Structure 1
Amino acid sequence: MTNDTVSFGYSEVAPEEKTKMVGDVFARVAQRYDIMNDAMSGGMHRLWKDQFVRRVKPRQGEAILDMAGGTGDIAFRMAKQGADVTVADINPSMLGVGMERAKKKGLDGLLWAEENAETLSFGDKQFDAYTIAFGIRNVTDIPKALREAHRVLKRGGRFYCLEFSTTTWPGFKEVYDAYSHKLVPQIGKLVAHDEDSYRYLIESIRRFPDMPTFKAMIGEAGFVQAKVEPILGGLVAIHSGWKI
């Protein structure tokens, strides 16, 4: 790979192309995004998100930025704990789904913002916590997004990321690889009528840095005490760090 291209699944594209192409993917899948999450994970994504929010420990009155949180899954959980959550997403279609879901749930205290993780409009030291769940791998320039997360956090602020990774369990890795590459696109075709988007999403997981590499990237962005908590041997992982 040259410095002039970035990964889009297994392809190499110009950075500005990736931003647009990822946007197109999520515009297409927005309406059926949560249904597909249930179908692909057997509902386990709900447990992973519950565990993630328990690690974040949102508190009453805290200002939390939930990046790439368009459909509201993480934000709704944190708002129930009394946190003041700003839901940010680069994709207006995803935000639209989240706002409609919030309205149905009677949650009117959330703030919604169309934001690029690499160039946040927020000032320095605005938030007590920054969360991003299943979104960082779709960012064009991940190190830049991590530096932005660090910038908008207050001193003592915490960074938490939930993302697919690479399982280290022998045997399970091969089974999951076969399932994800062969079956997930077919599930996407049946449930979301979109095989190509889900093929990209699986490929994007494969191209994402492994747990030690991403942990190091968090440290390079300025965070201290970077940690990783593997789930299912690292199929999914919770990464965290602190700003001091």
Structure 2
Amino acid sequence: MSIQHSDNAAEFVAHSDDVFGRIASRYDRLCDLFSFGIHRMWKRRVADIIAQEEWQTLLDGATGTGDIMLRVLKKQIPASRRIIASDISPQMLAIAQGKLGQHGAQVQLCQLDMHSMPDIASGSVDAYSISLGLKICQRHLALQEALRVLRPGGRLIILEASNIRPAWLHRAYLMYMAICTPAIGWLATGGDASAYKYLLHGVREFPGAEQLAAEMLDMGFCDIRYERLSLGIVAVHIARKPG
């Protein structure tokens, strides 16, 4: 039986609310505030995984300020490897350019919508990564597009919100988020409510690690495995396009 995919965990529509454009200059600081700095450990781990995979061309969707791609490049990956760092927000890409500009020979920055990337040819990339962006898009469309652009045998690497085990601890975490996230977000953004509304809703509604793995399998990916980080606040999923 085919799994029914919810469209968008955060109920975020980029063309309707340019929240990431508004908070681009404060985005890295907000990540520190919302996660108490733990996101740095998550990013180190996913950068390690990406760097260790075998690829020559990597497409990174929702690259944001370029934080994770910078960590990948610092792994001293072979000079022949090429990264396409993409995001829908030009303001975020401008900040990424400041971080990644010194690696210009290996990095190409592109403004792309993960739901549809006609500029990227089918079967043209060896690996596709997306970190903390799948919950703010229509994930079934984004995953279908990832499957399209990957070559047969190509790798998909995802870092995203997940489910803490045991379940009672996950419920406690969501309760903490519901109480503390609005207060932190309101103070940090000067009252921009949308900046934390999407985060809170996306974390609450995004599927757990097992369900996301099942959705990926249902869509056509294979060899799926995942690793929970920080008890399962987030998880890294790795999958392969058949072939």
Instruction: Report the TM-score, using the length of structure 2 for normalisation.
Output: 0.86
Contact 2:217 2:224 in 1 (8 A): yes
Instruction: Say yes or no: does 1:137 pair with 2:131.
Output: no
RMSD: 2.3
1:125 equivalent in alignment to 2:120: no
Give me the whole-angstrom Cα distance separating, in 1, the residues matched to 2:35 and 2:54: 31
Distance change >3 Å, CA 108–CA 7, structure 1 → 2: closer
- Does residue 1:154 correspond to 2:151, yes or no? yes
Structure 1: which 5+ runs fail to align?
12-16
Could you tell me how far 1:172 is from its partner in structure 2?
3.1
SS at match of 1:18: coil
1:14 counterpart residue number = none
How far, CA to CA, are the matches of 2:215 and 2:53 in structure 1? Answer: 27
Higher relative contact order (CA 8 A, sep 6+): 2
C-alpha separation in 1, matches of 2:47 and 2:234: 14
Q: Kindly indicate whether the alpha-carbon contact (under 8 Å) linking 1:8 and 1:18 is maintained by their aligned counterparts in 2.
A: no
- Note if contact 1:79-1:85 (Cα within 8 Å) is conserved in structure 2: no
User: Displacement, 1:84?
Assistant: 1.3
**1-structure distance, mates of 2:152, 2:223:** 14
**2:103 aligned counterpart, secondary structure:** coil
Asked if 1:184 is matched to 2:207, the reply is: no
CA distance in 2, matches of 1:7, 1:151: 20
Counterpart code for 1:181? A
Unaligned runs of 5+ in 2: none
Deviations 1:157-211 (A, max 9, x none): 1000000112123553243223211112211222222233212211111111222
Length, aligned pairs only: 231
Mapped partners of 2:60, 2:112: distance in 1: 11
Moved over 6 A (4+): none
Q: Counterpart in 1 of 2:211?
A: 213
Q: Residues of 1 paired with 2:147 and 2:91: CA distance?
A: 27
Task: Report the Cα distance in structure 2 between the residues aligned to 1:197 and 1:239, rounded to whole angstroms.
Answer: 26
Q: Which residue of 1 is the match for residue 13 of structure 2? A: 18
> Residue 108 of structure 1 aligns to which amino acid in structure 2?
G
The answer (yes or no) to whether the contact 1:160–1:238 under 8 Å persists in 2 is yes
Overall identity of the aligned pairs, in %: 30
| Cα separation, 1, equivalents of 2:166 and 2:53 | 35
